[in-house]
Structure 1
């Protein structure tokens, strides 16, 4: 496919091309990677917003029903309540999500972070 882009900052384009070369990529490969990164960021932000909406909507219920549990919100919905962080980790691995909220009211911990396939990065 041929793509024509008008009114692009020439200095940024030169820097982008130079970085692509340093990484051993063609310009089209570098642009595809940049598009993928941008789209993933947009999707992650949308997922984060959905998870936060669910948390806000359920906060009172969570405090009253799940006082001693770790609750998990991911993919824009309440996933469940778990006794240990190990159980949370197993659930998140199976869900294959990039963002999740893990909250334990009894520990006054609300951890929100990027799920990187094996650990919660805050």
Structure 2
């Protein structure tokens, strides 16, 4: 695509509310953050989802969170320097609200391309 075509398309999508923000991609390993996990959290029934979600904003290792349907209530993307930091994050930060925590390691990410959505949208 020609640069002018791309610029026009970006402008149109920003004005139409399709593109709402821009992001920076950070290489976690370059920062010494070698361990990434997706932690599935099932909350205790007495724990407020609003309070739990608010508490996540205070944990710098949590770089993403999704509220789910199904067996678990949340899936957290946690990035740490290693296993001991992960243990600390899970034990110290989430024990109060998590009835169950399952944290599989991320071996490698597969690049996604949300720009493809523009090809199926209006």
Q: TM-score higher than 0.5 here? A: no
Q: Relative CO higher for 1 or 2, CA cutoff 8 Å, sep ≥ 6?
A: 2
TM-score scaled to structure 1, two decimals?
A: 0.29
When you count helix as a share of all residues, which structure comes out higher? 1
